[in-house]
Amino acid sequence: MDYIFEGFKQALYLLFNADESVISAIKTTLLSSSVSIFLALIVGFPLGFALGFVQFKCKNFIKLIVDTSLSFPTVAVGLILYALISSRGPLGEFALLFTIKALILGQFILALPIIIALFSNLIENMNVKHFLLIKSFHLSPIKLILTILYELRFALVSIVALAYGRIVAEVGVAMIVGGNIKYDTRTITTAISLETNKGEFASGIALALVLIFIAFCLNFIIHKLKRIK
């Protein structure tokens, strides 16, 4: 047990002294995760709303595809993305491989089906009486959508938190398309994996503590928002 306590002690030392490599991994994680979740929300909410609200042919098939993509292993997503953006791939000319942009793209692909699937289910399972009440106001289409979003705001926050938690903690895509380059594309999770393999237990614990702190902050915000009714 001594080496565990010593690891925690050194981890706190690294955090309080703002170790350069630890701070760099934290910054890269927050930057790539925040940008990718923002882009996924812009694309995912309209698609999720349409999938849950509008009746059209092949709807069930599309829902099946979206639901299936939720269970894709992150290493498989990373491998496919690697094939697309490597120098021999169709997107190779954009030189995305082993860059922050590749990280953002990979995390965007992971977050998008979560937002679409959960948001469409939320719309479909909305209380019928509640929906008919909103509809009885004869609002314009835009106001109708905004009103529904407002009524579902607390569930939406949970969906965003779930998607953000998924991408901030993933390691497969970040490792494959990001390359785990120190001071550049190294994220918290890839750094934990590397430092643990190197026997640098303290650095791994320090970064794990940061991940736990991020999860705590997300849940704290959700609880606060749910109490504002």
pLDDT at 99: 93
The answer to whether 194 and 182 are in contact (CB under 8 A) is no
Q: Please tell me the predicted confidence (pLDDT) of residue 1.
A: 64
Residue 9: count other Cβ atoms within 10 Å of its Cβ: 11
Per the structure, how many domains does the chain have? 1
Find out whether 41 and 222 touch, Cβ atoms under 8 Å: no
Distance in angstroms (rounded) separating the CA atoms of residues 2 and 176: 34
| pLDDT for 203 | 74
Q: How far is CA 124 from the centre of its chain?
A: 23
Measured between alpha carbons, how far is 82 from 74 in angstroms, rounded to an integer?
12
Give the CATH number of the domain where residue 144 resides. Answer: 1.10.3720.10
- Residue 108, pLDDT score: 95
Question: Tens-of-pLDDT digits for all 229 residues of the chain?
Answer: 666 676 667 777 777 777 888 889 889 999 999 999 999 999 998 899 889 888 888 888 998 999 888 888 888 899 999 999 998 889 989 999 999 999 999 999 999 999 999 999 988 888 777 777 877 787 887 888 888 888 888 888 888 888 998 888 888 888 899 888 988 899 988 888 888 888 777 777 778 888 888 888 888 887 777 666 5
Q: Nearest 10 degrees: CA dihedral of 100, 103, 107, 108? A: 60
Which domain does 169 fall in, by range? 1-227
| pTM given for the model | 0.85
CA 219-192-199 angle, to 5 degrees, is 140
What pLDDT is stored for residue 147 in this prediction? 85
What is the pLDDT at residue 155? Answer: 85
**SS3 at position 91:** coil
